[in-house]
Amino acid sequence: MSNVIHIDEKWFYINPETRRFYLLPKEEDPYRCQQSRRFKIKAMFMGMIEKPLYDAQGHLIHDGKYGIFSFVFQQTAKKKSKNREAGTIETKTNQNINREAIREMLVNNVKPAIVSKWPANMPKDVVIQWDNSRPHQVPQDEEFIAAITQGGFNIRIVLQPAQSPDLNVLDLGLFRVIQSLQH
């Protein structure tokens, strides 16, 4: 398990309906940034963690934290509004997470995080454990394979068995903690 990295993604809603506020009698209601109950603002994040690595003396080699990446893109504003001028760069969430978005995330964020944080004295055989969601069908084109084998790394992606939520470390631990802190 010293070379297994767990990755998964999760939607986070900014203002869920289950959110409760306890206010004093003279306090105003908090500002909610959603414009409609039908169109909730949400963002998807991908997290990467691994078991911490220790040497023979018990010193920490690697803490196992690779990062949390968001599915966002930047776009210039087309019109002027009261909040910004036209032409200002805005960061928007990607609402359509498909195979191309997953592929782009693997090549542009996941692979560089592994390369930058992988311990130098460890073999470069990496196993990425992932849930068996439909957009996680790993691309097999030459460009993707060249990107994940660059730098001497041998990265394999292993999908979890279907209907096995008990194997997903991120859903059981990290994402639950983040969501409880958010609420």
User: CA–CA separation, 113 vs 163, rounded Å?
Assistant: 29
pLDDT, tens digit, 9 for 90 and up, residues 122-177: 888 888 888 777 666 666 777 778 887 888 888 888 887 776 665 666 666 666 66
pLDDT recorded at residue 165: 61
Model confidence pLDDT, tens digit, residues 23-80: 888 888 776 666 666 667 778 888 888 888 888 899 998 888 888 898 888 889 888 8
Provide the greatest CA pair distance for the chain. Answer: 63
Mean pLDDT over 102-109 rounds to 87
Q: Catalogue all structural domains in the chain, each as residue range(s) with its CATH number.
A: 4-24+33-69+96-182 (3.30.420)
pLDDT (0 to 100) of residue 85? 87
Q: Which DSSP string do the residues of 113-167 spell out, in sequence order?
A: HHHHHS-TTS-SEEEEEE---GGG-----HHHHHHHHGGG-EEEEEEPPTT-GGG
How much is the pTM? 0.73
Q: Which of 46, 38, 40, 35 is nearest to 16 (CA)?
A: 40
pLDDT of 59 reads 92
Of 146, 163, 164, whose CA–CA distance to 155 is shortest?
146
81-102 residue pLDDT tens: 887 888 888 888 888 888 888 8
What is residue 164's predicted lDDT score, i.e. its pLDDT? 67
> Which residue bears the tokens 């949400």?
42
